Amino acid sequence: MPILEVESLSKEYKGKGKMNVFQALNGINLSVDSGELVAIMGPSGSGKTTLLNILSGIDTEYSGVVRIAGTSISEMSKNELALFRRQRMGFVFQDYNLLDSLTLRENIMVPMVLDDQEVEDINSRTDETLSLFDLGEVKDKYPYMVSGGQQQRAAISRAIINGPEVIFADEPTGNLDSKSSSTVMKTFAKLNALKGATIVMVTHDPFAASYCNRVLFIKDGKMLLEITRENKERRAFFDRILENLAFIGGGEDDL
Amino acid sequence: MTFRRMAFQIFKANLRRYLLFFLCSSFTIMVFFAFYSLYTNPDFNDPYQVNGMVSGNLYAPFLVMRVFAVLFIVYAQMAFLKFRKSDFGLLMVLGMTSHNIRKIILLENSMIALASILTGLGAGTVFSGLFFFIISLFVDIGNSAFSLTLDSYLYTIKFFGVIYIAVIGIHLLLTLRYNIVRLLQESRTAERSFLHGKFTGVFGVILLGISVFDMIIHYNPDDARMMLINLGVSMVGVYLLLSGLCDWMKLIFLRSTKAYHKHLMFSSDLNYTLGRSKIVLSLITFLVFITVFLSGIIFYITWNAEAIPVKNNPYDIAYSEVFGKNSISPKTLSEITDHGATPLLSHQKLEYIDLFNFKVFLDQNINTLIGSDYHVEKDHFLNLAIVAQGEEWKNQRPEMPTFDLKLSSGKHTLYSQGILFNMVFNPVPNLMNGLHVIVNEEDYMALKAENKNAIGNLQLLNFKDWKKTADIDAKLNSALAKYNKDNTESWYGNERQEALVFSTKSRISEYLQLKESGRFGIFVITFVGLIFFGASCIVLHFSIQTDLEREKIKFGKLNKIGITSKEVAQMIGGPFKVLFFLPYILGIALATVYIISSSRFEMSVALGPFWFCLLVGGAYLLFQVLFYYLYTRIYTRKMLAHIQLLKIPLTEQDSTPIYIEI
């Protein structure tokens, strides 16, 4: 059953003058089923992050339809979207997006605190998430006191604290070394396997993408192709991703 | 490109940032110069031209103005350098040495200091003329003329020159501790404060308690130092209280898990806000305290302009005949009193002996005059304190233990029988330049027999309506001055001084003087109050600006998680309420305590000035509430626009008069 549906999604950036229009997304159609772990790949400037920002309701200037769990987010006001984002979506960002003035534990509970949920619920779910991602020892430390990997795991914990229907991740391993990247991706895979979480991830990193079930490639704002892992080994899927990347092209910095 | 050229380019690029700082500094110098010009204007300080009560009303506000100028310039300079710290970090990353940074600091700040002083003096020259003109509309300044002296310019240059040199010097020294990483993080990290923790707050409360207790119990109107020391201790107490407040609030929130969750964001925001703004909040507390305290007193005195002269003068008009002075004939006197706007009800006299340093009265004469039954024993005397304040003045007026009667038969020592606090007669000028003693008949007669020329007569006149006696008082003073000029030798060789010493002391003249000085006082304190209010708004703005980058990043992050515009407004409003209102509440509370303790002694009243204090404090708070709503609204709208929860056209952002860079 699709949890995320996108129809004829287009986005233009207008500059000064009538001719100065940049087509960032051009008629994208997409469907993600519940429990899928999907990666979106493409070269720099292909529209990956624009797509993710629209799917997650951060960017509201577009044409087309985006439905999450049957609800069209295109018709929501910015404040409704903010609440929808907080209560029904989870986010993981390249720069972790943790608040410097709060400890990791406090950062994780922020969405529930903003929702004014029951104290017992907040505490029990925060503690449960902390132990799931092995953050017990550093829970009372501030973000700048822990490693990038630990910060990203805290960010993932925060993303799932409200039991979201879909988790969006924007370059979640972009700032991490290979060991931390591997830990973070294993965390996503665990989340997907154990909790059936739907995860949509934008990444440059073929290694990170190889943990997914499906990889979508976009270029110049258009969906070029998609590949699925099926029952392949991760290593074989990784090679296939590399082949496709070579096929669609892109700068060295995209790899 | 030379280094100097590059430094100038950086200066030019930052011009908008410099502008507010430069304008604030120039404005402070301008107002300071206007005050100093008036303060040193020879005509304005001439008691023969301008009522002494009026010119005296400038002393306290100008003293406060000087303290304010120091604190404000130091703070503004510090806030400005904080803005620049992250720029310096970046420049150091690009290879600039600490020495180069020091050169930039020296160059930029010297240019600002010089430009501020020159602009301030230029604007001050015009403004002081305007200031003088406005004052002349409020009070009678006689023939005083507006004048500017070289001293005003030199003093202002020296005063601000020293402040700037000190502040720039300190900052240059601090650059020795500059560290690239710390400079770059400057706008994103909480203030590293040495003074924090629960005990700091407790210590602050203890200091506040001690100073307030000392003011209430040991206040001494003659000891201005005591009040200043207590004020200093109170301000240190406020600073320490603010330093520890955050830890106390955290402790309170942690006692309840629900409160901890509910105030999670507020508590962490407050940590940053208070960490950065302790000095600002202490400065605003001081400004509010001074404004409310001085306004409370001045408004009370003006409001009570009728009650105070009645309390200070038991008779409507009084003057003293002594040493041949003021001996106008009964006919002349009745011509004046019979043709006034109000009829004379009584004319009493009180005889005394004027021994220059001592004015000696007979107990029976006093009894006859005021209906008392004082009886001075043989070889004794009573000290008489002519004060309206009553017994509470006791500590201020010491009792003279002995009094020597110098008679031809030799020295006869009298011993004190006690001290009498009683406003027996009006404090007539030529009667107040000595101590007053009451003796018994035997001693009085012996003294009188040997000092016939020194026998004085106090003339005490009461009318039906003292408020209609202005014309009578003026005519009487003219008659006395004419008589003394025509019939006696001048004591002082100065007609004006002569007229002043041998003038009457009347309720109406004190009433008119109080009204006039009150008008002037209200004008000055309102002016100073408005400047302080503006200054407190600006320092708050500076303080909020230093946190702006961090706030933008924070709300950007929260927006990605999902935050509504209402929640953004609430998150901004929480710490802002503390910033905007805590110093006002502290300042008003302190001012009311100080005013109660001082007015209890000075005016034998406590609640009158207290209510005025609360009234002025309330009005001040009302202004702040308006400023809070306006500022928070603009700030919130711009923050919402920044995180794209609200659409504001860029042009509108740029044209907003309040300088917020988002």
Interface check B570 vs A, CB under 8 A: no
- Using CA atoms, how far residue B435 sits from A138, B214, B357, B383, B395, in Å, is 79, 31, 6, 8, 16
The reported pLDDT for the residue numbered B580 is 93
Contacts of A68 in chain B (CB under 8 A): none
Q: How many domains does chain A have?
A: 1
Spatial distance between the Cα atoms of A141 and A135, rounded to a whole number of angstroms: 10
Low-confidence residues of chain B, pLDDT below 50? 188, 648-662
**Element (DSSP H or E) covering residue A33:** strand A21-33
- Pull the structure tokens for residue B623: 């202004």
- Measured between CB atoms, which of B264, B271, B564 is closest to A83? B564
Phi first, then psi: what are they for B504, rounded to 5°? -80, 165
Closest-CA residue in chain A for B258?
A119
- Domain contains B424: yes
Residue that is last in its domain, among B119, B154, B189: B189
Residues B243 and B201 sit within 8 Å (Cβ to Cβ)? yes
Spatial distance between the Cα atoms of A141 and A164, rounded to a whole number of angstroms: 26
ipTM of this predicted structure? 0.82
Show Cβ contacts of residue B245 under 8 Å, excluding neighbours closer than 6 positions. Answer: B201, B274
Q: Is the same domain home to B349 and B493?
A: yes
- Pull the structure tokens for residue B506: 């009347």
Per-residue 3-state assignment (H helix, E strand, C coil) for B59-71: HHHHHHHHHHHHH
**Element (DSSP H or E) covering residue B462:** strand B455-463
Q: Tell me the CATH number at A124.
A: 3.40.50.300
Contacts of A89 in chain B (CB under 8 A): 562
Please tell me the distance in Å from B560's CA to the nearest CA on chain A.
Answer: 7
Residue that is last in its domain, among B506, B533, B552: B506
Contacts of A86 in chain B (CB under 8 A): 561-563
Which ranges in A133-162 belong to alpha helices (H)?
148-160
Identify from B188, B272, B276, B561 which residue to disrupt to test chain A contact, counting A C-beta atoms within 10 A and taking the largest count. Answer: B561
Cα B546 to chain centroid distance, Å, stands at 30
- Domain contains A11: no
The domain of B403 spans 314-506
- Measured between CB atoms, which of B257, B268, B562 is closest to A101? B268
Cα A36 to chain centroid distance, Å, stands at 12
Q: How confident is the model over A108-114, as a mean pLDDT?
A: 88
- In terms of Cβ atoms closer than 10 Å to its own Cβ (0-12, 13-18, 19+), residue B486 is exposed
Closest-CA residue in chain A for B191?
A101
Residues B175 and B221 sit within 8 Å (Cβ to Cβ)? no
Q: Which amino acid is at B288?
A: V
- Domain contains A14: no
- Pull the structure tokens for residue A143: 């973000």
DSSP secondary structure string for all residues of B34-87: HHHHHHT-TTTT-TTTS-HHHHHTTHHHHHHHHHHHHHHHHHHHHHHHHHHHHH
- Using CA atoms, how far residue B440 sits from A116, B148, B398, B454, in Å, is 86, 58, 22, 18
Contacts of B566 in chain A (CB under 8 A): 79
- Pull the structure tokens for residue B467: 């408020």
The reported pLDDT for the residue numbered A100 is 82
Burial code (b: 16+ CB inside 10 Å, e: under 16) for B230-254 equals bbebbbbbbbbbbbbbbbbbbeebe
Q: Which residues pair with B225 in a beta bridge?
A: none
Show Cβ contacts of residue B399 under 8 Å, excluding neighbours closer than 6 positions. Answer: B383, B416, B418, B419
Q: Which residues pair with A93 in a beta bridge?
A: A170
Looking only at the bridges linking them, the beta strands covering A21-33 and A2-14 are antiparallel
Burial code (b: 16+ CB inside 10 Å, e: under 16) for A56-89 equals bbbbeebebebbbbeeebbebebbebbbbbbbbb
Q: How many domains does chain B have?
A: 2
Identify from A101, A110, A125 which residue to disrupt to test chain B contact, counting B C-beta atoms within 10 A and taking the largest count. Answer: A101
- DSSP letter, residue A118: -
- DSSP letter, residue B425: S
**Element (DSSP H or E) covering residue B88:** helix B59-93
Placement of tokens 């609430």 in the chain:
B570
Residues B241 and B274 sit within 8 Å (Cβ to Cβ)? no
Spatial distance between the Cα atoms of B29 and B117, rounded to a whole number of angstroms: 7
- Domain contains A9: no
Q: Which residues pair with B412 in a beta bridge?
A: B405
- Pull the structure tokens for residue B167: 């502040």
Spatial distance between the Cα atoms of A169 and A188, rounded to a whole number of angstroms: 10
Contacts of B645 in chain A (CB under 8 A): 78-79, 82
The string of pLDDT tens digits covering residues A186-236 is 888 888 888 888 999 998 888 889 999 999 999 888 888 899 988 888 889
- In terms of Cβ atoms closer than 10 Å to its own Cβ (0-12, 13-18, 19+), residue B15 is exposed
- Domain contains A249: yes
- Domain contains A171: yes
Q: For chain B, how long is the longest CA-to-CA vector? A: 103
Residue that is last in its domain, among B174, B189, B204: B189
Helix axes B59-93, B98-138, angle to 10 degrees: 160
- Domain contains B451: yes
Q: Average per-residue pLDDT in chain A?
A: 86
End-to-end Cα spacing for chain B: 31
The domain of A237 spans 36-48+77-254
* Cα atoms in the 13 Å half-sphere on the side-chain side of B537: 22
Closest-CA residue in chain B for A82?
B562
Residues B113 and B168 sit within 8 Å (Cβ to Cβ)? yes
Spatial distance between the Cα atoms of B115 and B112, rounded to a whole number of angstroms: 5
Residues A196 and A35 sit within 8 Å (Cβ to Cβ)? yes
Taking an 8 Å cut-off on Cβ atoms, the answer to whether A113 and B261 are in contact is yes
Interface check B636 vs A, CB under 8 A: no
Contacts of B257 in chain A (CB under 8 A): 119, 123
Cα B569 to chain centroid distance, Å, stands at 37
Q: How confident is the model over A12-20, as a mean pLDDT?
A: 75
Q: Is the same domain home to B37 and B179?
A: yes
Taking an 8 Å cut-off on Cβ atoms, the answer to whether B272 and A101 are in contact is yes
- Domain contains A19: no
- Domain contains A161: yes
Taking an 8 Å cut-off on Cβ atoms, the answer to whether A91 and B567 are in contact is no
Placement of tokens 């590949």 in the chain:
A227
The reported pLDDT for the residue numbered B660 is 36
Taking an 8 Å cut-off on Cβ atoms, the answer to whether A114 and B563 are in contact is yes
What's the residue count for chain A?
255
- Domain contains A3: no
Spatial distance between the Cα atoms of B33 and B43, rounded to a whole number of angstroms: 17
Instruction: Give the rounded percent of residues in chain A with a pLDDT score beyond 90.
Output: 19
Contacts of B554 in chain A (CB under 8 A): 99-101
- Pull the structure tokens for residue A201: 């991830």
- Domain contains B576: no
For chain A, what percentages of helix, strand and coil (3-state, to nearest 5) are there? 40, 25, 35
Residues B596 and B297 sit within 8 Å (Cβ to Cβ)? no
Nearest partner of B164 among B106, B204, B97, B207, judged by Cα: B106
Interface of B with A in 249-288 (CB under 8 A): 257-258, 261-262, 264-265, 268-269, 271-272
Please tell me the distance in Å from B9's CA to the nearest CA on chain A.
Answer: 29
- Domain contains B265: no
Phi first, then psi: what are they for B342, rounded to 5°? -140, 140
Contacts of A83 in chain B (CB under 8 A): 562, 564
Spatial distance between the Cα atoms of B237 and B241, rounded to a whole number of angstroms: 6
Interface check B548 vs A, CB under 8 A: no
Q: How confident is the model over A20-26, as a mean pLDDT?
A: 84
- Domain contains B100: yes
The reported pLDDT for the residue numbered B603 is 56
**Element (DSSP H or E) covering residue B278:** helix B264-303
